Amino acid sequence: MPNKSNQHQGHSTNRKPAYNKNQVQKGDTLIYALGGLGEVGKNMYCYEYENEICIVDCGVLFPGDELLGVDYVIPDYHHLIRMNKKRKFLVITHGHEDHIGGIPFLLKQVQIDAIYAPRFAKALILKKLSEHKGLEKTPIIEIDENSSIKTRYFTVGFFNTIHSIPDSLGVLITTPNGSIVHTGDFKFDLTPVGTNADYQKMAYIGVMQPDLLMADSTNAGVEEFSISEKDVASEILEIMRNAKHRMIIATFASNVYRVNQIIEAALRCGRKIAVFGRSMENVVDIARKMGVIKIKNSQILSPEELSRTPDNEVCIICTGSQGEPLAALSRIASGTHRYIHLKPSDTVVFSSSPIPGNASSINKIIDKLFRSGATVLSKSVLNNLHTTGHASREEQKLMLQLIRPRYFMPIHGEYKMLMQHRQTAIDTGMPPENIFVCANGDILILRDHEIIQSDWRYQGDDIYVDGNDISGLSTAVLKDRRILADNGLVAVIIAIDSKENKILSRPIIVSRGFVFIKDSQALIKEAEFIVGASLQEKMKEKTTFSEIKNCIRSTLEPFLYKKTHRNPIVIPVILNSKQTMEEITKKRAAHDRSKKPYRRKENKDNKNKEAQ
């Protein structure tokens, strides 16, 4: 009788594998983010078809206090490095650091054919690349709302949006499988400062019914329409008129329109401008060259002229609105600024809102300012000293209604913000199954005007940058810094004679940030004895320096954890020299001798006192 199971197995081997529509097929358009999802910063979104990749934005994320010694966080570019044979071009929506700050690091590792950037962003990128040798070769092509980029597979068009920096653009990307609208950072302001949003073009795009909308989610939890920039300008002008003495205003250097409003208000009130903070000075300089900020040289005060100018004719614009320790306002508040010393008559204005996580730093600065007697004004329900550059929930609804996409993917925000934006889209009538809340590295497939989430994903990790290092070593170094901060360091110094294969002296243990040595002499001596005994055993046979180091670590680390419940970094130091060890032994003996006479004298003095 034939075996049915074998028949079934034989039948199954001839069956073709089932078609899985979630797997990437040849001819698909792939959509994925390497940064910007689940976080506010390091925005980088990729659109890939065949041998072309369109990249939108390339930003950095500024680290929090938990990232010790890290200057920037950038996306992991390994996928783009692996795809170096594919043609890649970079499109920039606007000139903020979370959208352009990663460009130098990207160009050092990835071949980019061209960078397309709006006017103001182009000027900022050129300034940034001038600080990095060899990166000026990549062509930077200026674009505006009427520009069009055409490659073999992509057609990219643009429309004006409103943001806190000039020349902010939304992007329409057309691929062989369908079209995608990428908003960049945006808001709707019915009385804007600068260029208005292109409502007509957005509505026209909506008539064509694009397949996917990818929209800014930063303020998805804010209910009402945001305050107009003109309302903020009126508030600042009123404060300026009422102030009788010196004005100090802190704001974001990147908020070019706000900086311009402050300057215009100061000039109307007969005040001259002094600018402090490197980023603020750079932005004002570029904005003046481009005509965005109009101010004469005679209306700008040099640092030396401040002390010679009456207080009621001075307005100081500076960085530090987020409590950054090295920013101008922090140094002013601490009394360490070279040119500015606080006076009780000063009025200090924060024209900004705290970025999440910065509230405690800002409060410390405000407390110091109050202690100096200055009048401090910050955004509250009682004033309009700041407005956001990102769309609130109602403005996000308007964008959804204008574009009318078939599918939706919230971008640019923490996970909570993405989920809130998802709910907003559902409220406007978008089917929940047509909304994709993704993480960095997740892949959406655009196939014949249909969006599918792939089973596969790319690497979407963070890379920590210390200085200009982009090797990724900083990522590993950060772990050591955390261990050092929490548990400290223990160095074990041993002297050996490798020719005779013997230890010349007992190990010497030095501790930093682990235990207080004076109170832990017994622990240190015991540790030295245990390491010495282990090494004596190890040195009975021929060994290598690497094996000696491993012996020290494997002996000392468990002992220290058992005694203290802490895991310090253990660093073995091997001296393969008789002469060096003899010098160390002499120094130790001399140190011990220098202590003994002092102790004898101290005892003698005590006896004399007792006799008296």
Burial class of residue 519, CB neighbours in 10 A (0-12, 13-18, 19+): exposed
**150: β partners:** 155
Q: What number of CA atoms fall less than 13 Å from residue 82's CA on the CB side?
A: 6
From 322, 299, 320, select the one nearest 309 (Cα to Cα): 299
Rg of the chain on CA atoms, in Å: 32
- Which strands form 272-276's sheet, in the order they lie side by side? 272-276, 314-318, 247-250, 347-350, 375-378
SS (H, E, C) 504-542: CCCCEEEEECCCCHHHHHHHHHHHHHHHHHHHHHHCCCC
* Measured distance CA(217)–CA(220) in Å, rounded: 5
- Those residues with Cβ within 8 angstroms of residue 77's Cβ, 6 or more apart along the chain or in another chain: 34, 105, 106, 109, 110, 463
Question: For residue 454, what are the contacts with CB-CB under 8 A and spacing of at least 6?
Answer: 22, 23, 24, 30, 442, 443, 444, 445
* Active-site pick, 94, 163, 386, 390: 390
CA-based nearest residue to 121, from 138, 98, 105, 150: 98
Q: Is 396 exposed, middle or buried (0-12, 13-18, 19+ CB in 10 A)?
A: buried
Helix (H, G, I), strand (E, B) or coil at 429: coil
Q: Catalytic one among 167, 216, 346, 466?
A: 216
How far is residue 424's CA from residue 224's CA, in Å, rounded to a whole number? 13
Q: For residue 48, which phi and psi values (nearest 5 degrees)?
A: -120, 130
Which two structure tokens, joined as six digits, stand for 228? 């107009």
* Dist. CA 263–CA 280, nearest whole Å: 13
Instruction: Single out the residue of 439, 412, 441 nearest to residue 78, CA to CA.
Output: 441
Q: Which residues are 245's β-sheet partners? A: none
- Is 390 annotated in the active site? yes
Catalytic residues: 216, 390
